[in-house]
């Protein structure tokens, strides 16, 4: 095995990085995950994820964690409502969606990010994750890398794998290629115990998801397993809106005033979201990889997930692609068919770039449809044609 007696540093403890660590440990690899969070409870995890049979779930099966997943996924959370700005329902699959069944191509079970992270963390060998390890820089040392962290610690690794997200600090060691801004920004909010805090929205959600469209803007939301909901206001704006708007994202009143000004045509029912969000709100400008990105493979460094191919979230593929990256990379690194590590990494990267470009283009196109003047009609057509 090419990675026998090699130390591997996985930088970033999101679903992709943790899945990769699990898969490599199953093959006997020496792996450490360096995560900048102070501990596993350092921050609230984002909205639920829907895993797809040929990517996220394929990685879960290979990792031997399908039974744990089945015991923890959110039954019914994949059910969808399509609405307009007045909260009028135009599409619902709450009564018509086929019975959930693992192994079916179109079944996309939802799970809380925090729950998925817990499952993956608990599957790893003790002390695999090195918390409070905020990557700063690295340099070549021998045939590997010496990594430097913000807390003034260092670590050596024969192989470094960047799993550190859209703003990856390791990606520049691999390529100069940069993602481009899509013209869309999403403002994220989280409401705790939505049943009491936002009863009208909770009654609409019914434990599932809502996509509301109107006036070139969206509100997207989904139920979490702990009684919370996560939501996003999605709209077109300048790339630097968050820094140039002078908004204080810790000030709920100020953000509520912004919402009323930006979404003036929207029904008052949606005010519950902004009146009850746990601060701070989180602005997320949406970026996308160049579809033709390429670079020359190296023998001791590569990347997966958003670090490799950040893309808009409008096809639900981000985490699924990261977990598929983890699956494919782990198989390349542990295969006997490659002559050396450079060849193994190159094989993974060629495949990853090809499929991620296709999915990124699909996600970008979906984003355009969702923020068009006729977005409601676009999405009704899309969901009805994809309704199984």
Residues 184-228 pLDDT 10s = 999 999 999 999 999 999 999 998 999 999 999 999 999 887 889
Comparing 15-24, 262-271, 312-321, the range with the smallest average pLDDT is 312-321
Using CA atoms, how far apart are residues 88 and 70, in angstroms rounded to an integer? 33
> What are the binding residues?
43, 50, 113, 306
pLDDT in tens, 293-316: 999 999 999 999 999 999 999 988
Task: Inform me whether the pLDDT recorded for 100 exceeds 80.
Answer: no
pLDDT in tens, 140-160: 999 999 999 999 999 999 999
Model-wide pTM > 0.85: yes
- What is the number of alpha carbons within 13 Å of residue 118 lying toward its C-beta? 14
Using CA atoms, how far apart are residues 236 and 112, in angstroms rounded to an integer? 28
| N-to-C CA span, the chain | 43
Asked if residues 87 and 267 have their Cβ atoms less than 8 Å apart, the reply is: yes
Q: What is the pLDDT of residue 220?
A: 96
Task: Inform me whether the pLDDT recorded for 388 exceeds 50.
Answer: no
Residue 387 CB neighbour total at 10 angstroms = 13
Please choose, from the candidates 112, 119, 100, 107, the residue with its C-alpha nearest in 3D space to the C-alpha of residue 52.
107
pLDDT in tens, 168-184: 999 999 999 999 999 99
> What are the binding residues for FAD?
50, 113, 306
Both tokens of 27, joined, read: 């093959």
* Domains of the chain as residue ranges with CATH: 7-43+125-178+291-365 (3.50.50.60), 180-288 (3.30.9.30)
Q: What is the pLDDT of residue 40?
A: 85
> What are the binding residues for NADPH?
43
Asked if residues 341 and 159 have their Cβ atoms less than 8 Å apart, the reply is: yes
Full strand arrangement of the beta sheet holding 154-157:
135-141, 144-149, 154-157
pLDDT in tens, 235-250: 999 999 999 999 999 9
């Amino acid at each position: 095995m090419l990675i026998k007696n090699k130390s591997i540093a996985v930088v970033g403890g999101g679903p992709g990085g943790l899945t990769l660590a699990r898969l490599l440990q199953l093959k006997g690899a020496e792996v450490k995950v360096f995560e900048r969070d102070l501990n596993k409870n350092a921050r609230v995890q984002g909205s639920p994820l829907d895993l797809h049979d040929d990517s996220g779930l394929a990685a879960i099966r290979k990792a031997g964690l399908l039974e744990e997943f089945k015991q923890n996924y959110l039954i019914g959370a994949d059910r969808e409502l399509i609405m307009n700005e007045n909260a009028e329902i135009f599409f619902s699959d709450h009564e018509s969606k086929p019975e959930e069944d693992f192994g079916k191509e179109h079944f996309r079970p939802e799970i809380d990010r925090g729950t998925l992270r817990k499952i993956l963390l608990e599957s790893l060998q003790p002390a695999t994750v090195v918390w409070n390890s905020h990557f700063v820089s690295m340099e070549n040392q021998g045939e590997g890398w010496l990594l430097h962290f913000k807390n003034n610690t260092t670590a050596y690794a024969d192989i470094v794998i960047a799993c550190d997200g859209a703003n990856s600090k390791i990606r520049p060691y691999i390529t100069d290629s940069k993602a481009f801004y899509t013209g869309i920004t999403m403002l994220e909010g989280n409401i705790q115990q939505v049943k009491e805090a936002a009863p009208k929205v909770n009654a609409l959600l019914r434990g599932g998801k809502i996509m509301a469209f109107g006036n070139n803007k969206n509100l997207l939301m989904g139920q979490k397993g702990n009684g919370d909901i996560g939501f996003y206001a999605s709209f077109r704006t300048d790339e630097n809106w968050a820094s140039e708007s002078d908004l204080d994202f810790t000030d709920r009143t100020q953000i509520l005033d912004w919402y009323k000004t930006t979404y003036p045509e929207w029904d008052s029912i949606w005010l519950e979201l902004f009146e009850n969000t746990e601060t701070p709100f989180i602005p997320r400008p949406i970026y996308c990889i160049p579809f033709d990105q390429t670079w020359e493979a190296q023998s001791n460094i590569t990347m997966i997930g958003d670090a490799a191919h950040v893309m808009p979230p409008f096809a639900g593929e981000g985490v699924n692609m990261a977990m598929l990256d983890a699956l494919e990379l782990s198989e390349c690194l542990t295969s006997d068919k490659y002559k050396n590590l450079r060849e193994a990494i190159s094989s993974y990267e060629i495949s990853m770039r090809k499929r991620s470009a296709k999915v990124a283009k699909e996600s970008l196109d979906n984003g355009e449809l969702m923020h068009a003047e006729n977005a409601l009609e676009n999405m009704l057509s899309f969901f009805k044609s994809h309704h199984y």
